[in-house]
Amino acid sequence: MNKQVLIAGGGIGGLAAAIAAVRADWDVRLFERAAQFSEVGAGIQLGPNVVRRLQAWGLQRSLQQVVACPSALRACSAVTGQELGRLPLGADMVQRYGASYLTIHRADLHQILLEALQVLPQAHLNLNQFVSSYSQQDGVVTIRTSTGKLIEGDALIGADGVRSAVRAQMLGDGPPRVTGHLAYRAMVHQANLPKRLRTSEVTAWMGPQLHAIQYPVRRGELQNLVVIVQGPAPEDLDHWDHSANLPDLLQHLQGACGYLQDLVQHVPDVGGEWRLWPVADRQPVSSETQMAQGLVALLGDAAHPMRPYLAQGAGMAIEDAAELQSALSMHDLDVSLRLRRYALNRWQRNARVQERSLRNGRIFHATGPMRWGRDLSLRALGGRIMDVPWLYEGAL
């Protein structure tokens, strides 16, 4: 009889963890808070380190049907509009790292993982309930769900996001920290934009205390736009009037180049809407015990929420799941030792990505001499400093 893993959370991390567990010959019971599986309309960048994991799960064909394959990663000045540096993607990435650099709609990636999981008889998906607490004793972990059910398993994976209830009980370290950064996000049909505003590349526009990212998703039919600025969040985001976002955003972009302001202003004209999210994170992971204790482990944003300045939030969750598969497959070890092995093999890499994301944020939003130095370095070295071999190769 297979061991059973209980998974809290039905987002990308939870679904990836469930696929990994089934591939390690475990039965899965997954618990998702929402009444249906869905994801918001945002984009995700998938570096070759992540694409290789998805390919190993047999998802290449599904990916090919929905991804965009950007031709280059560009760094531009948000003030002057000038290109500062360029890193070719496409075949160059495949040659260097064995896989492509892809961009995808978050909902499309979520659907690919969900469909891959739904055909597996070992996976049991439970909607409209979440893991509210747990206990562990004598080799058994028992969860209490939001509906009052008590369910036993051999392991529990907390993949329940940045405000994880599993993490709250395991580590008791309070809510995530407010970063003072706000993300304005929009998704628009490229065909509705003037040709000069369409893109087949990933472009990072860097300005004082802000930056913007644009790239294609869904076979290039849609364009994902994100502008991150520094400032206080509205007090009540649940009832925030999103129609106010464009004037507020344009206020932040007063000193930006005409192209960027034009692109931002076109969003409502072509049926899009600017939505606002405050960016939250935590201090980088400092030990394996922050990712696993006994029969309970954390994965993805529950373990290591990070700022989006390295485009690796979803990627690290998928890498976590691949490592979890390896650990759960060690059938000669006790379950607690398998989860400890998972945590030992992941915490330092996750911490490094968190730290690099923080560093990138300071570079992207630089002012004064640091900004001039950044621009000079990009003009001189371009793709050589935009490439991240340790990340894309999968090393620490």
> What average pLDDT values come out for the chain (396 residues) when binned by 10 residues?
94 97 97 78 94 97 98 97 96 96 97 96 94 96 96 98 96 92 94 97 97 97 96 68 78 95 96 89 97 98 96 97 98 97 98 97 94 94 92 84
Instruction: Determine the CATH number of domain 1-35+127-176+282-362.
Output: 3.50.50.60
Q: Are 349 and 310 in contact (CB under 8 A)?
A: no
Q: How far apart are CA 153 and CA 151, in angstroms?
A: 7
Q: Are 188 and 225 in contact (CB under 8 A)?
A: yes
Q: Are 87 and 391 in contact (CB under 8 A)?
A: no
**What pLDDT sits at residue 232?**
79
Active site residues: 215
What spatial distance separates the first Cα and last Cα of the chain, rounded to whole Å?
36
Residue partners of 361: CB distance under 8 A and separation at least 6 = 181, 307, 309
The domain locations on the chain are 1-35+127-176+282-362, 40-120+177-281+366-395
Query: Would you tell me which CATH number, out of the four given (1.10.10.60, 3.30.9.30, 2.60.40.1940, 2.60.120.1440), belongs to the domain 40-120+177-281+366-395?
Result: 3.30.9.30
**What pLDDT sits at residue 396?**
61
pTM assigned to the model: 0.95
**What pLDDT sits at residue 231?**
84
**What pLDDT sits at residue 35?**
73
